[in-house]
Amino acid sequence: MKFKLKLNTINSVMIVLIVSSISCTNQKKIKTVIPVKEWHQTSVLMIGDSITEGVQSRPFAEAYTTVAAKVLGQRFTVTAIGCGGATTWDWSLLGGVTFCGGRFWEPNVYESLARPNLPADVVTVMLGTNDATGFYEPAPISPVAYRTNLANLVTHLLKDGAGKVMLMPPPHMCESANADVVRRLEAYRTIVGDICNTHAGVVCGPDVYTLLDEDDFQGCDVHPNGFGHRTLGTAIAEMILGQ
């Protein structure tokens, strides 16, 4: 499968991006030459779960949404509406009242958080960690249900004014994670690739499942650490800017 983003822009220029390191031991630096476009004012809406909310394992740093906003620059308005514990079922319009982010949302989290922030030029979606584990759900979300939920979310985002929907698979989990959870995550990754390569108006974002490695997490915490958030935010911004 191919994970890529194509958007129509004009007036190509070249810049050098240097992402500053996190203030902790074993500091990392990323230096990337990016072909960047001249953008008019552009709105970016980022949908997800607690990772998009900014939750991290140690060492802490800026959330990936903040990193992406800084890399994108002043011509981009970035709005993050992560909801801790959310699944694709929660963000779809197939269910009822949603519990995520420590509260109930009526009639659901999509109506409460997504629709008021639409239209948007680009909407990023990264969901699946809670689907795979069944967190806040009666049971884990099957791959079949994941596809149905995600397709429903995409359909409503486009209907409500998303210029492009950029889908990303959830991160992998550590080697000691439950084998059934890992299999579901792998299936979700395939489904994301299928949808973003075949659905009009949908593009593939970074392949987060392979983008982040063990250094981007603290042990088996499902939340990336500051390094992981920086890597993810930079990758998203680069795909928006450089393709």
pLDDT, average across residues 154-158? 98
Determine phi and psi for 76, rounding to 5 degrees: -115, 135
Q: Which residue has the tokens 């699946």?
A: 128
Task: Evaluate whether the domain defined by 10-242 bears CATH number 3.40.50.1110.
Answer: yes
**25-44 pLDDT per residue, tens:** 343 433 333 334 555 789 99
DSSP 169: P
Both tokens of 63, joined, read: 């959330």
Q: Which residue has the tokens 């607690």?
A: 50
Contact 152, 94 (CB under 8 A): yes
Mean pLDDT of the chain: 86
**55-110 pLDDT per residue, tens:** 888 998 999 999 999 999 999 999 999 999 999 999 999 988 999 999 999 999 99
The residues pairing with 216 across neighbouring beta strands, listed in sequence order, are: none
Task: Give the three-class secondary structure for 41.
Answer: coil
pLDDT at 231 over 50: yes
pLDDT at 23 over 80: no
Most confidently predicted of 8-17, 138-147, 174-183: 138-147
- Cβ partners under 8 Å of residue 102, min gap 6: 84
Percent of the chain residues topping a pLDDT of 90 = 72
Task: Give the three-class secondary structure for 35.
Answer: strand
Confidence band for 194, pLDDT divided at 50, 70 and 90: very high
Burial of residue 111 (CB within 10 Å: 0-12, 13-18, 19+) is middle
C-alpha distance from residue 56 to each of 46, 125, 137, 149, 223 (Å)? 17, 18, 22, 26, 5
Give the Cα separation of 28 and 150 in Å (integer).
34
- Cβ partners under 8 Å of residue 217, min gap 6: 57, 171, 174, 223, 224, 225, 228
C-alpha distance from residue 1 to each of 151, 167, 189 (Å)? 18, 13, 10
pLDDT at 2 over 70: no
